[in-house]
Structure 1
Amino acid sequence: MKRFTKQMFLLIMLCFTVMYVQAQSIVISGSVIDKLSREPIPGAGITVKGKTVGTSTNQNGKYAFSTSEKAPFTIVISFLGYTSVEKLVTGSTTGLDAELEQAGILGQEVVISASRTPERILESPVSIERMGQNTIKEIAAPSFYDALNNMKGVEVSTQSLTFKSVNTRGFNSNGNTRFNQFVDGMDNQAPGLNFAVGNIVGINDLDLDNVELLPGASSALYGAGGINGTMLMTSKSPFDYQGPSFQFKTGMNHVNDNNTGVQPYNQLDVRLAKAWNNKFAIKGTFSFLQAQDWQADNFSNFDRASRSGKSGDRSSDPNYDGINVYGDEVSQNMRNVAQSVLNAGTSGFVQGALGLPVPPTAAQIDAFKSNPARLNALNGFLSTNSVMRPFYAGINTPGLLPNQNVSRTGYEESSLVDYKTQSIKASGSINYRLTKTIEAVAQVYWGSGTSVYTGSDRYSLRNFSIGQYKLELKGQDFFIRGYTTQERSGDSYIASILGSYINETSKKSTDWFPQYVGNYIGAKSQGASDAAAYAAARAAADQGRFAQGSPQFEAAKSKILNTTISGSDFSKGIYGAKFDDKTNLYHYEGMYNFSNLFNNVFEFQIGASYRLYQLRSNGTIFNDLNSEIDIKEYGSFVQLGKKFFDDKFKLTFSGRYDKSTNFDGRFTPRVTGVYTVAKNNNIRISYQTGYRNPTTQNQYIDLSVGGGSQRLIGGIPEILNKYSLFTNQAFTDVSYRAFLNSAAGGTPDPTLLKAYTFDPKGVRPESVQAYEIGYRGLLGPKFLIDAYAYYNIYKDFITAVDVYQKEINGTNFTKFGVPVNAKGKVTSYGGALGIDYLVANYNLSGNISYNNIGDIPDNYINDFNTPKIRYNLGIGRRELIKNVGFNVNYRWQGKFYWNSSFASGDVPAFGTLDAQVNFKIPSVNSMIKIGGSNVLNKYNFTSYGNPSVGAVYYVAYSFNP
């Protein structure tokens, strides 16, 4: 800690010295306009020729920046679709204006995230995708976030209308913990989940300046996580983009949807910004979305033990478990139920016969049975008692009672989950410029709403909220920031537990299963067929069950939703499905780029960070009912870059060291090289490493899921010891299923059970070594090509196992889901190709990506969850006729198998078409857009168990977009 304090003190001192350095800088300002229309060009790039220093124009086409470059030097002014212009600079200059002609120049965008320093995208040392302002304004999708999967190699898992998970390069998941998102430098993850909750709290389209996305590992620069990718979203500065702007979007979805019929879709975005004397500025944004969410209605039968689908439905399979049906996860074996009833009867009989004050022990029962006379008396009681008789007959009559599991009757998701989606987002900042290049910022992002997401269950997020609050001091070469993320679960709950507990409220499982088995035996004894006996048994056991939507159902639902999970008391009939999560994250970091101090002879950056997780779920998610949990993380990095061979080859080395509370420290290096083979043509090669710590849930979760049929627990020794999994070893799921199946002839064979041995150190961080080679270049001024190939080697890959622990001195088993590290290495490989071509002012684009998994260990459950092939095709024109433009994008992906702790199955191949046409009204600085996503309304789903998604059609009016 002392070492970290010294590092931060050094950074702070360096930041204060920057004022002196900046005082010697050359300051340049001006404006950029279209030569023909005389209109300003926002987003034009201005860079020092041959260097990485630069900026871009604001919404009024104006720019200003400073540099320590020695005069004279040349700046290059460029913009997509225009011929670049060069201007000679001999000293500080104002009014250095430029007029650009439309010609079609690609690849001139300036990016920052690839090296944490400005550089042309053509010269990026690693693969990078970018979405700029003009693209954002004219995307053929309801929002920029919906259009991310148009980028090369990017895929999105859609769990609901407002909850989407972004991923690259395989191992996709509903809540993607291998992909980082940053909003204005703040990690956008929900700290209790360790993954970003889509764009629920973040930037709206009006305030978004650009998106930069890095496929692949990026831990050397951005720390833990981001093992598969990192995305950085940057908002507009209130100095550069002033005045009011708003957008109202109205439309519809659920067209040809039998579940709901056509439903309205409405969204309002507002932004206000004002600056005074180029010193002080404020901005505020507000966004409100309201719509009916997509409904998950996959009622396919699912075998949770093997994580695979099976044939049958409720009428044909007594153990039916519908994927989007909840409460039917609770299942018991019919013979076990009958034996349990007999055991209870035996215990009562022995207690009475011996005059014991308490129920007898197993040894006392065995001793009682060893006496032939007493045993005969016991069997006589069991075979003649009106309650015991059917169960005795079922166990002792061959072929009467099958070795069959049966499940309770469940409820469809639509009756349990809140589909009235709404999202409220607000943000604001206060900005003060201490000098022309040093700025202090106080910023807030806050979001609240109702949505649905998929983890090990379907979770209904109701009235939840996340707030992010930041203080930052930044300059041309440095920043120091501190921020906190405050997560509040509101009225969120687990759908499967809700369904299960409504069942328990209407009739306890301890009564339901014996009724089912007893009535089945009775029906079979009277000659009924198996199907008829099963139907009669369910009808009898379900008597008194609350029907979906009935007053009793709604009353029980309301009571359970207002009781927390940790507030449940089964002995008193109190059931709760509600979370009580108030988890916080605190993060502090700083960075200094010394490159300008060394006249850009070489690049040199250093940085450091400190993070604190405060897990506060009151026992509803984590093992924190009786104690608070804090996790601390420390890290620092350094980067050094140098150009060689007349600046044709740039070599960069980066390295980062990180340490977390529960895990050993680790070093993650990165080496990149970029070689200019010809003007605007570069080959890049990189070796990157990444890692991620087990998530906060991987470490400390302690949660009942699957309607209470399974317990998810953390994989660190503290939690494993809590459930005695080192001393009372659990059994593998494969051997447990074999054990159950062996009961067909009577008693299960215990010799089939195989113990699972947990690592004494518990779950460990996973890491990746990533190798990549790529090429990006201009083949003429109108043809841009970008291609890459990669190969990844994962070590200690974090997966999960299901194990079954037998009660000490008991017969029941408890199922646990535990995160563990796969033994051996997991490999993946792939590549992508992207092309942009400008012809007759049309922008033709296309990209194709290939991803595949290689070697996997024997004990690894394959959750690559990615199609091998996916591609995008696009065509657009900014002005088809005067003030009218359009964009069309077609996206296709192949079939693949999705494997997760919630559900597993095939995701069919599908293609979607997005389109928009826009009408610009320059006289009032407005635009009308008419468009839609999935305009052909071909319903599809991106991950198994999630809802099918159809078209969203909309009309949007934007002022000052």
Structure 2
Amino acid sequence: MIKKLLLVAFALFGGAMMVAQTTITGTVNDASLGGPLPGANIKVSRKAVGTNTDFDGKFTLQVTDTPPFTIEISSLGYHSKTVEITKNNQDVTVDLEENATSLDEVVVSASRTPERVMESPVTIERFDSRAIKNTTAPSFYDGLENLKGVDINTSSLTFKSVNTRGFAAFANERFVQLVDGMDNASPALNFALGNLLGLSELDVKSVEILPGASSALYGANAFNGIMLMTSKSPFNDQGISAVIKTGLTSQQAAGDNEFYDASIRMAHTFDDYFAAKASLSYVKGEEWHATDYRNTTGVGGTYIPGFREVGNPDSAIDYDGVNVYGDEVGTNIRTASGLGIIPDVRVTRTGYNEVDLMSNEAKSMKFGASLHYRPLGNDRVEIIWNSKYGRGNTIYQGQNRYNIANFFMEQHKLEVRGKNFFVRGYYTGEDAGDSYDTRFAGININRQWKSDEDWFGDYIQTYAGAVLTNPTIDPKTAHFLARQAADTGRLLPGTAGFKAAFDKVTNDPDLKTGAKFKDNTNLYHADGNLNLRDYIDWAEIQFGASYRQYNLNSYGTIYTDSNDPITYDEYGVYTQLQKKMMDERLKLTASARYDKAINFDGNVSPRVSLAYAAGESKNHNFRLSFQTGFRNPTTQDQYIGLDTGGGTLIGTAEDNLDRFTSLPINVSPSGQALSGLGATTTYTGRDAFENAFSAKSIEAGNPTKSNFDLVKPEKVTSFEVGYRGALPTGDNKLGVDFSAYYNDYKDFISIKNIAVPFYGVAGDPGVQGQLALAALQNGDYAGVGFRTNSTADISSYGIGLGLDTKVFNGFNVGLNYTWSKFDFDQASDPDFEAGFNTPEHKVKLQFGHTDLFENFGFNINLRWQDEYYWESSFLEGKVDARTTLDAQMNYKIPSIKSVFKVGGANLTGQEYFSAPGIGAVGSQFYISWTINN
């Protein structure tokens, strides 16, 4: 009896399943080219059930829905279509029309609501998965440099810094990078380490970049711009895909070296409710070697004419090489000895070249996984858990050059999102791993084999002996003999003794004896947004809020947190109204945001824009916007306490001044006699803030007391006009995107360089003032950099023009030009260094064809920029003009679902520097095999 019941139940269930099963087959074609369109998405409307077309543009979709229902067919760069399914086994043929220009692409970031690029109230650049497939660059992140108005500075092979509209630096604290809504910046460093914890190129759905101030919607620090990277959903992009890439990097200093780049992505939809994905990426190669051995006078980076003789470090007495470390330690040998026969010159210790202090191994490994749950069985509500892990080696150039080794960063996010809302919270944590400061590595390796006192003692004794025994000796020869004697026992790179000292120093976080920096800083962030468009019909109104807490924990190696971690928080609320009028041709967008950080007064950031769509098809969009932005001082601006070897950086939060105490510093014999101090002394942050000379006044020969305030938020007021349009040109359309902007800055945050005398009172009219001047004369002072606000009148302005069209039956042509300019009144703040670091003129050209003949495509990118002057705390100097050529060609093999690509970056082989002091960027050649993407 039971067997019969089971048999009947099975039959009924099987019959029900057979009745409910609906099969749809079809073909999706490119309406313009006439051929099949691989990779198009086919899904049941409002559900996760779907599939993709194969390389022949064909698909089969089996669903449990009973006709009638609707399916959606879409593909990046094409207009979507819907098809009504009325019967089982229905065969569908769809021709998708390609967007006339890139201005037809849909973006979300500009207004936090979907809209065409054409309709955006502000300038926006977009880079999607289709562009990634066609990029000429070795990675999609490198390919962002081909976008209008976007600059990428290369600190190393694996660390690229994205910037827009000037004030560029490798530590780009004015530009925000969000990955699936999570701030990708290192909590301790306050800037993103390129794509070290970003996305695999297989998982990128889109990248949207908003140049200029975006604080009204995205809060503090979205000051110069914001980049939003969005990954693919496992509900929409399923299956297993992979890419294997290998090739060569070629540089005169490093030679030819292999690199490897491999990624895999797996995504699966289990049913209408649950989906999951995971991705893994691994990159390994050789860094661009930094081998600039020009001599500098130290902090400030002014070049001394001439080069150190190759292989002869003794040819320079007072030598501080750009990429040489340990040679920062020096003294006036006459002052140190008190002997009249000793010349009145400064002598420095023999340092070590950077290539001997770094492994120069570039490496990055990223893993990401997410779980997606739709409780209603459709896309109206989705719950997402997302975890990301990244570990890697790279090189960062800030005040010094830092070897970032085995740096680890993780992010974990829980998000609930629906059609008109999202709420999310995430955690970011990091571990500096085996990272260290190369300058202190060189300094303290030297001190491992001989103390500074003994080294200079040997130098002075040998020099004096040479002069006494041979009064006519050439001073250069005497210096050569003195250095040779002082360097006796020097640890040579490649020896066991050097390796033992190197390992000891780079694992020691005490900068008096080591070079390692420790860091376990983390942050917690929560934000949400609600759009009332389904409840209010006269306008689209949004509300949002965010909260963030920092926990600084560098064990005193970066911040003044030797005793306890430093915790502080900030929050913000915002609203936006968007109203369409005049037959939806005129769009008004008004936003306002209030932000408050614990150490500062609150800031209000408004934005108002008008956009008008002219023309019969609304293909001519004119826009005008006014907005303000602000940037809270970063954790480093407030709480850093870092001795860089060439100076000290101190944060100017009120409580940080008393928390900071310097390392012991040597006092000259003359200073000891004048002041009664011992052989060494220390100073506090309060001492430096209240009793110091302006560095510029010392350079001008008229030392005056420095005077500046505690750091506070900086602000920008921005005005922008623009036009986007699609102009008919025969059978095609010419996309035009023009913008012009003017930015006015107030309380711009910059570094104030000062000199702290070890005795006396700066600016005092009496004896104490004379003592302070004597301290300068005797070299008894410390160089300090404070983050504070400039009083200078600062403004920047520029234009951007982008053109794109198709010519000669399908060839894509794009041209863009950017002009950037910066003005300020130097006399109003002589100590101010802007660090605009942006070429005035940039031109970028793109030419290619995605299907020149069956299964074959190619692309070419040419970029030119003029020379400009780079300002930074590490080194200043001219960055030469450069022309860069990248190209790729690709071939599809549909039978194995594969695309093969061969390409190269900087094919002319003309090496260039993104900034003084980094490794010269050479050429990169690659071949890749992409499967099922």
TM-score, structure 1 as length reference: 0.83
Deviation, structure 1 residue 695:
1.1
Alpha-carbon distance in structure 2 between the residues aligned to 1:105 and 1:544: 68
Q: What corresponds to 2:782 in structure 1?
A: 814
Q: What corresponds to 2:502 in structure 1?
A: 557
Residue of 277, 284, 291 corresponding to 1:283? 277
Q: Does 1:588 align with 2:526?
A: yes
Within a 5 Å distance, the mapping from 1:777-926 to structure 2 comes to 777-780=725-728, 781-808=732-759, 811=775, 812-839=780-807, 840-857=809-826, 858-859=829-830, 860-926=832-898
Residue aligned with 1:190, SS: coil
Alpha-carbon distance in structure 2 between the residues aligned to 1:57 and 1:813: 70
Alpha-carbon distance in structure 1 between the residues aligned to 2:419 and 2:534: 10
What is the one-letter code of the residue matched to 1:907?
V
Q: What corresponds to 1:701 in structure 2?
A: 640
Within a 5 Å distance, the mapping from 1:641-680 to structure 2 comes to 641-678=578-615, 679-680=618-619
Deviation, structure 1 residue 31:
9.4
Alpha-carbon distance in structure 1 between the residues aligned to 2:825 and 2:169: 18
Alpha carbons 2:27, 2:36 under 8 Å: kept: no
What is the one-letter code of the residue matched to 1:847?
N
Deviation, structure 1 residue 230:
0.4
Q: What corresponds to 1:15 in structure 2?
A: none
What is the one-letter code of the residue matched to 1:638?
T
Alpha-carbon distance in structure 2 between the residues aligned to 1:798 and 1:309: 27
Alpha-carbon distance in structure 2 between the residues aligned to 1:654 and 1:128: 17
Change in CA separation of 1:33 and 1:814 when aligned onto 2, cut-off 3 Å = same
Alpha carbons 2:48, 2:235 under 8 Å: kept: no
Deviations 1:871-893 (A, max 9, x none): 11111111111000111111111
Deviations 1:166-202 (A, max 9, x none): 0011111011001100000000000001100100011
Q: Does 1:184 align with 2:121?
A: no
Q: What corresponds to 2:353 in structure 1?
A: 412
Q: What corresponds to 1:357 in structure 2?
A: none
Residue aligned with 1:470, SS: strand
Residue of 619, 626, 639 corresponding to 1:687? 626
Deviation, structure 1 residue 33:
4.4
What is the one-letter code of the residue matched to 1:696?
T
Within a 5 Å distance, the mapping from 1:134-153 to structure 2 comes to 134-153=130-149
Residue aligned with 2:482, SS: helix
Q: What corresponds to 1:477 in structure 2?
A: 420
Change in CA separation of 1:101 and 1:669 when aligned onto 2, cut-off 3 Å = closer
Deviations 1:552-588 (A, max 9, x none): 21111011111113xx5x5xxxx11111100001000
Deviations 1:730-752 (A, max 9, x none): 1122344567xxxxxxxxxxxx5
Deviations 1:114-173 (A, max 9, x none): 000000110011000001121111211111101111000111110111001000111110
Deviation, structure 1 residue 817:
1.6
Residue aligned with 1:642, SS: strand
Q: What corresponds to 2:375 in structure 1?
A: 434
Q: What corresponds to 1:757 in structure 2?
A: 707
Alpha carbons 1:178, 1:225 under 8 Å: kept: yes
Change in CA separation of 1:58 and 1:889 when aligned onto 2, cut-off 3 Å = farther
Within a 5 Å distance, the mapping from 1:45-194 to structure 2 comes to 59-60=52-53, 98-101=94-97, 104-194=100-190
Change in CA separation of 1:902 and 1:45 when aligned onto 2, cut-off 3 Å = farther
Within a 5 Å distance, the mapping from 1:365-404 to structure 2 comes to 391=339, 393-394=340-341, 401-402=343-344, 404=345
Deviation, structure 1 residue 211:
0.5
Deviation, structure 1 residue 549:
2.3
**Number of aligned residues:** 833
Alpha-carbon distance in structure 2 between the residues aligned to 1:494 and 1:320: 20
Residue aligned with 2:359, SS: coil
Q: What corresponds to 2:922 in structure 1?
A: 950
Alpha carbons 1:444, 1:467 under 8 Å: kept: yes
Alpha carbons 1:34, 1:41 under 8 Å: kept: no
Q: What corresponds to 1:453 in structure 2?
A: 396
Deviation, structure 1 residue 315:
4.8
Alpha-carbon distance in structure 2 between the residues aligned to 1:485 and 1:175: 18
Q: What corresponds to 2:324 in structure 1?
A: 325
What is the one-letter code of the residue matched to 2:153?
S
Alpha-carbon distance in structure 2 between the residues aligned to 1:32 and 1:829: 46
Deviation, structure 1 residue 656:
0.6
Deviation, structure 1 residue 105:
4.9
Deviations 1:659-683 (A, max 9, x none): 1111111101111111112221101
Residue aligned with 2:535, SS: helix
Change in CA separation of 1:505 and 1:105 when aligned onto 2, cut-off 3 Å = closer
Q: What corresponds to 1:7 in structure 2?
A: none
Residue of 290, 307, 313 corresponding to 1:296? 290
Residue aligned with 2:255, SS: coil
Q: What corresponds to 1:342 in structure 2?
A: none
Residue of 455, 464, 473 corresponding to 1:528? 473
Alpha-carbon distance in structure 2 between the residues aligned to 1:439 and 1:306: 53
What is the one-letter code of the residue matched to 1:286?
L
Give unpaired runs (5+ residues) of structure 2.
1-24, 62-69, 661-683, 761-770
Alpha carbons 1:301, 1:323 under 8 Å: kept: yes
Alpha carbons 1:726, 1:758 under 8 Å: kept: no
Deviations 1:232-253 (A, max 9, x none): 0000000101111111111111
Within a 5 Å distance, the mapping from 1:15-26 to structure 2 comes to none
Q: What corresponds to 2:431 in structure 1?
A: 488
What is the one-letter code of the residue matched to 2:331?
Q
Q: What corresponds to 2:364 in structure 1?
A: 423
Alpha carbons 1:919, 1:929 under 8 Å: kept: yes
Alpha-carbon distance in structure 1 between the residues aligned to 2:553 and 2:412: 19
Alpha carbons 2:550, 2:567 under 8 Å: kept: yes
Alpha-carbon distance in structure 1 between the residues aligned to 2:704 and 2:462: 35
Alpha-carbon distance in structure 1 between the residues aligned to 2:751 and 2:386: 39
What is the one-letter code of the residue matched to 1:663?
F
Alpha-carbon distance in structure 1 between the residues aligned to 2:300 and 2:638: 25
What is the one-letter code of the residue matched to 1:617?
S
Alpha-carbon distance in structure 1 between the residues aligned to 2:714 and 2:835: 15
Q: What corresponds to 2:488 in structure 1?
A: 543
Deviations 1:817-844 (A, max 9, x none): 2111111321111111110011110000
Alpha-carbon distance in structure 2 between the residues aligned to 1:288 and 1:243: 20
Q: What corresponds to 1:337 in structure 2?
A: 336
Alpha carbons 2:750, 2:834 under 8 Å: kept: no
Deviations 1:227-274 (A, max 9, x none): 1110000000001011111111111112xx343322111111000010
Residue of 540, 549, 554 corresponding to 1:617? 554
TM-score, structure 2 as length reference: 0.85
Deviation, structure 1 residue 717:
2.2
Alpha-carbon distance in structure 1 between the residues aligned to 2:593 and 2:925: 46
RMSD: 2.9
Q: What corresponds to 2:255 in structure 1?
A: 261
Deviations 1:883-918 (A, max 9, x none): 001111111111111110011111111111111111
Alpha carbons 2:315, 2:480 under 8 Å: kept: no
Q: Does 1:731 align with 2:660?
A: no
What is the one-letter code of the residue matched to 2:506?
L
Q: Does 1:504 align with 2:447?
A: yes
Deviation, structure 1 residue 416:
0.4
Q: What corresponds to 2:268 in structure 1?
A: 274
Deviation, structure 1 residue 214:
0.5
Identity, in percent, stands at 42
Alpha-carbon distance in structure 1 between the residues aligned to 2:352 and 2:99: 61
Deviations 1:658-710 (A, max 9, x none): 111111111011111111122211011111211111111111111111xx342
Q: What corresponds to 2:245 in structure 1?
A: 249
What is the one-letter code of the residue matched to 1:731?
F
Change in CA separation of 1:179 and 1:123 when aligned onto 2, cut-off 3 Å = same
Alpha-carbon distance in structure 2 between the residues aligned to 1:794 and 1:801: 17
Alpha carbons 1:248, 1:958 under 8 Å: kept: yes
